[in-house]
Chains A and B, each alone.
Chain A
Amino acid sequence: MIVYLQMISEPADKSKFESLYMKYRGMMYHVAYQILRNEADAEDAAHQAFLSILKNMDKIRQADSPETRAYVTIITERKAIDTIRDRKRVSLVEYEETMYGIAFEPPGDHGIGDAIAHLPAQYREVLLLRHAQGYSTREVAEILELNYDAARKLLYRAKIALKDQLEKEGMSV
Chain B
Amino acid sequence: MNKTPFSDNELTNPAKSALTSMMSAIPQPEECDHEFSSEFEEKMQDVFKKERRRRAMRRASKRVAMLLLVCCVTAGVYLGVNTNARAAFFGWIKEHYENYFVYCFSGNLSPAAEPMLPKMEFKPEWLPSGYVWDGSSEINGQVEVRYENQAGDEIIFGCMSRPADRDWTVESWELDLSDMTHTQTTVHGHEADLFTSNGSDGRKILMWTAYEDDAAFYVSGVVEERDLLHVAERVTLVNADDLPDPDGFRLAWVPEGYTLFDEEESKHSSRLIYADAQGRLLKFTYIRGQDETNLFVDTTGATMEQVRVREHMADLILSHDPDIASGIMWTGLRNEAFYISAYLDKNDLIQLAEAVVPVYKPLFQATWVPEGYRVEEILGGDRHCTVLYQRDDSDQVMSFDYFYSHSGAGMSVFAEDNNYMDESLIVNGCHGDFYRSLKEDEGSMLVWFDEENGITFSIGGFLSREEFQRMAGSVERTR
Contacts and interface: CB of A to CB of B under 8 A. Distances in A.
B295 interface: no
Interface string A105-134: 111010111111100000010011011110
- Would you call the interface of chain A mostly helix, strand, loop, or mixed? helix
Q: Which of B11, B25, B460 neighbours the largest number of chain A CB atoms within 10 Å of its CB?
A: B11
Nearest to A109: B17
Interface in A76-116: 89, 91-92, 102-107, 109, 111-116
Interface string A135-173: 001100000000101101100100110110000000001
B414 A8 contact: yes
Contact of A102 (B13, B22, B252, B355): B22
Given A7-B53, A105-B21, A109-B17, A131 B445 contact: no
A170 B57 CA distance: 53
A104 B256 contact: no
B259 to A, nearest CB: 14
Interface in A57-73: 57, 66, 69-70, 73
B413 A107 contact: no
Contact of A156 (B2, B43, B420): B2
B191 A69 contact: no
B44 A112 contact: no
Contacts of A107: 14, 17-18, 20-21
B479 interface: no
B47 A51 contact: yes
Given A2-B445, A7-B60, A66-B23, A147 B419 contact: no
Contact of B25 (A39, A105, A130): A105
B443 A117 contact: no
A173 B460 contact: no
A131 B12 contact: yes
A114 to B, nearest CB: 8
B4 A156 contact: yes
B32 A26 contact: yes
A113 B412 contact: no
B296 interface: no
Interface stretch (B62-70, B83-91, B146-154): B62-70
A14 to B, nearest CB: 7
B26 A133 contact: no
A114 B51 CA distance: 39
B29 interface: yes
Contacts, number: 216
Interface stretch (B33-41, B320-328, B362-370): B33-41
A3 B355 contact: no
Contacts of B5: 159-160, 162-163, 173
A112 B10 contact: yes
B23 A70 contact: yes
A149 B348 CA distance: 10
B191 A113 contact: no
A12 interface: no
Contacts of A92: 256-257
Given A54-B55, A107-B21, A131-B15, A4 B40 contact: no
Contacts of A31: 26
A118 to B, nearest CB: 9
A106 B253 contact: no
A169 B34 CA distance: 39
Contacts of B157: none
A149 B17 contact: no
Interface string A18-52: 10010111110111000000011001001100110
Contacts of A24: 29
A103 B445 CA distance: 52
Contact of A14 (B52, B277, B412): B52
A138 B190 CA distance: 12
Interface in B292-310: none
A113 B14 contact: yes
A46 B40 CA distance: 9
Given A3-B414, A54-B51, A102 B14 contact: no
Contacts of B14: 107, 109, 111-113, 115-116
Contact of A2 (B39, B66, B435): B435
Contacts of B354: 149
B34 A26 contact: yes
Contact of A104 (B16, B22, B27, B100): B22
B257 A30 contact: no
Q: Which of A3, A9, A29, A103 neighbours the largest number of chain B CB atoms within 10 Å of its CB?
A: A3
A1 B47 contact: no
A25 B40 CA distance: 11
A40 B14 CA distance: 35
A10 B71 CA distance: 17
B8 interface: yes
Given A7-B56, A73-B26, A107-B20, A127 B415 contact: no
Given A27-B27, A102-B22, A4 B417 contact: no
B267 interface: no
Contacts of B102: 5
30 contacts: A2-B420, A2-B435, A3-B56, A3-B416, A4-B60, A4-B458, A5-B70, A5-B414, A6-B56, A9-B56, A13-B55, A17-B48, A25-B36, A27-B26, A31-B26, A69-B29, A104-B21, A107-B18, A107-B21, A112-B10, A114-B18, A117-B18, A127-B15, A132-B12, A147-B355, A149-B351, A149-B354, A156-B2, A156-B4, A160-B5
Given A26-B33, A69-B23, 4 more contacts: A5-B100, A69-B26, A104-B24, A132-B16
Interface of A: 1-10, 13-14, 17-18, 21, 23-27, 29-31, 39-40, 43, 46-47, 50-51, 54-55, 57, 66, 69-70, 73, 89, 91-92, 102-107, 109, 111-117, 124, 127-128, 130-133, 137-138, 147, 149-150, 152-153, 156, 159-160, 162-163, 173
Closest 5 CB pairs of A and B: A5-B412, A26-B32, A104-B25, A112-B14, A131-B15
